[in-house]
Amino acid sequence: MVTEPVQHAVRRVDDADQPTATLGDVDISSELSTRSVRRPDYERENRAFASLALEMSKNPRNMLQKLVEVAVELCRAGTAGISLLEGDVFRWEAVAGVFASYRNGTMPRTASPCGICIDRDASELMHLPDRCFPALRADPRFVEALLIPFHFQDRPVGTVWIVAHSEERKFDRTDERVLRALSEFASAGWQMWKARDTAEEASRRKDEFLAMLGHELRNPLAAIVSAVGILTRKGAPGGSQRAVEILLRQSHHLTRMVEDLVDLCRISQGKLALKREQVELKSIVADAVETTRERIERRGHQLSVELPPEPIWLEADALRLAQVLTNLLDNAAKYTPEKGQIQLRTWRENDQLLVSVRDTGIGIPRERLDSVFNLFEQLGSSLDPSAHGLGVGLSLVRGVVELHGGSIVAASEGVGTGSEFTLRLPLSPKPLTAAVPSEPPASVALPPSRILLVEDHEDLAESLSLSLSFDGHSVRAARDGPSALEALKSFEPDIVLLDLGLPGMDGYEVARQMRGRCKDAITIVALTGYGQDHGRRQTAAAGFDAHLVKPIELDELRHLLADRAAIGRRSGALTTAH
């Protein structure tokens, strides 16, 4: 019988009420040619087909349901449906009319007249089909059924069907013609629906890849950053200073690369939230220039910056706009041969701010100007083998600019002529009070604590343990959940730094068990490569007091540890660092 996803008012008929028959007694396909044909209403049909075409362009799956509603109307049917073949069963993807509540019900292929239609790949007209297919026995009865298959790549994948529930209603060639036209719509709609699902799945997998890539890179980055922190402490050998500078520069570069990947993932998922405030353009430009200065000077470029004499105010996320300009300046430095020219220029145009970054670099072929903002576009490597990157910077730039209500365009006369990127942003009125610059965090003097570090990445665990030991803390390291729970008894820590991605028992379960044993006596801090809001909610629910995103900044960790007493009160609010 048909699987019923919801409760139905249709009364099922006992099998004994109906005589059985062979398929030959039920199948009367040839009778259509002998029946009189009703006068067609082409105007009404055209209106209905136009509405289906419009719906298909918006939502092809919804169009399938609208299609069967049109079939009921145009063919004066009691019920109409679309059955999709999924493995060995048919699923009623769309149903209208008397049996509309059976939508998404299933029926075995061998128990359905749709199976005959698919096997023969031909239109079928059946009289009292429940005599041969007992699964159709219901009240009102399926008196006459007209079925037409639809295809994908010349293979039947489903059927469109209409049913009459009285002996007086007989289908004819007009009904067959209309239903055949609707089967073409069903075929196109099914293909568009599947294509859209495939594209959305590919997009989802891409987002997962980006998020996972960022996560996997963060562990080695965290180890590098911690090791650099140790080497730059007082007492480090003087001859190591050059190596320290290289390590520090590369770790910051890798960190920026990872953050770009993670931010791009958030933009594509609609999850990147801007922290808008009144900001002055000069400070944003200064941050971007300072961030890229080392690369620009190392390649011998000359950078000129032109700003309007008066202050320019924006309602924007200063960090994100600095990220935009940093990416543009970085690209200019990277794709310009040594000792080139880079110009950053800003000016007003009505109620908009225009920012231009121009260089004397390798340029962009005109036919590729529209594609330079595409994700993973690797233009530079094809023109200059020494220029390389992930191909995400300009895609991220466009996403952030558009989130600010702005736009960005690329211009170039071709290969070897340099390039120019111009962005437009809406201006903001001058604020009534001047913005107060934020003070850098002061160094924190920490009382010694007993810290249990639970981290399966060996280098990260060792470097972070050394850093904490230098600060005067007593540190015990554990590599997995069971050993962490054992250390909880033998070491009696004040604070637990707990990685979420442990082998076997994950960090969430470890935290729940620790919280059950110690209640509020300890502070538990999550260490993770993921910084999304839902991850923070999960850690809060599991009993964590705070959430740190790798690579961990030591000053940030020191401030959190200094504030552990306030965190330990567990007011229910989760302290978040990122």
Query: Do 49 and 170 share a domain, yes or no?
Result: yes
Which range is least confidently modeled, 169-183, 370-384, 454-468? Answer: 370-384
Res 179: pLDDT: 95
438 in a domain, yes or no?
A: no
Q: Are residues 415 and 544 in the same domain?
A: no
Q: For 336-419, where are the alpha helices, taking DSSP H only?
A: 379-383, 393-403
Kindly state whether residues 103 and 220 are assigned to the same domain: no
d(CA 428, CA 352): 9
- pLDDT beyond 70 at 14: no
Q: What average pLDDT does range 9-23 have in this prediction?
A: 48
Euclidean distance between CA atoms 97 and 19, whole angstroms = 26
pLDDT digits (tens, 9 = 90+) for 172-201: 999 999 999 999 999 999 999 988 888 887
Q: Where are the alpha helices (DSSP H) in 416-506?
A: 458-470, 481-491
Which of the four pLDDT bands, split at 50, 70 and 90, describes residue 378? Answer: low
Residue 576, pLDDT score: 42
**Cis, bond preceding 385 (omega within 30 deg of 0):** no
Q: Are 122 and 17 found together in one domain? A: yes
Task: Identify whether residues 35 and 161 lie together within a single domain.
Answer: yes
User: Do 74 and 185 fall within a single domain?
Assistant: yes
Q: Residue 547's pLDDT is what?
A: 86
Domain co-membership, 420 together with 477: no
Each residue of 533-564: pLDDT tens digit?
A: 667 788 888 888 888 887 777 778 888 877 76
Where does the pLDDT of residue 226 fall: very low under 50, low under 70, confident under 90, or very high at 90 and above?
confident
Write out the DSSP string of 111-171. GSHHHHHHHHTS-EEEESGGGT-GGG-EES---EEEEEEEEETTEEEEEEEEEE-STT---
Question: What sign has the CA pseudo-torsion 297, 302, 308, 310?
Answer: positive
- Looking at the 3D structure of the chain, how many domains does it have? 4
- Are 480 and 387 part of one and the same domain? no
Q: Is the predicted pLDDT of residue 566 greater than 50, yes or no?
A: no
**Residue 531 domain-assigned (yes or no):** yes
Q: Residue 443 domain-assigned?
A: no
Segment 29-87, tens digit of pLDDT: 678 888 888 888 999 999 999 999 999 988 999 999 999 999 999 999 999 999 999 99
Confidence of residue 246 (pLDDT cuts 50, 70, 90): low
pLDDT higher than 90, residue 234? no
Residue 465 sits in the same domain as residue 415: no
Average pLDDT over residues 504-528: 87
* Residues 474 and 384 grouped into a single domain: no
DSSP 91: E
pLDDT computed for residue 445 by the predictor: 56
Please tell me whether the overall predicted TM-score, pTM, comes out greater than 0.85 for this model. no
Confidence of residue 206 (pLDDT cuts 50, 70, 90): confident
Q: How many CA atoms lie within 13 A of 121 on its CB side?
A: 6
pLDDT confidence tier of residue 496, bands split at 50, 70 and 90: very high
Q: What distances in angstroms separate CA 535 from CA 206, 275, 345, 530, 545, one per listed residue?
A: 19, 20, 40, 7, 13
Last residue of a domain, one of 198, 225, 256: 198
189: CATH = 3.30.450.40
CB atoms within 10 A of CB 19: 9
pLDDT, residue 7, reads 28
Confidence of residue 5 (pLDDT cuts 50, 70, 90): very low
The tens digit of pLDDT for each residue in 83-116 reads: 999 999 999 999 999 999 999 999 999 999 999 9
* Predicted local confidence at residue 558, as pLDDT: 83
439 part of a folded domain: no
Enclosing domain of residue 254: 206-268
Q: Which two tokens stand for residue 67?
A: 């299609």
Tokens of 282: 């000069």
Task: Give percent of the chain above pLDDT 70.
Answer: 80
pLDDT of residue 35: 86
Residue 402 in tokens: 């558009």
Instruction: With cut-offs at 50, 70 and 90, classify the pLDDT of residue 567.
Output: very low
Q: Are 258 and 529 in contact (CB under 8 A)?
A: no
What's the CATH number where 294 sits? Answer: 3.30.565.10
Whether residues 367 and 476 fall in one domain: no
Clarify whether residues 259 and 292 are in a common domain.
no
In a domain, 5, yes or no: no
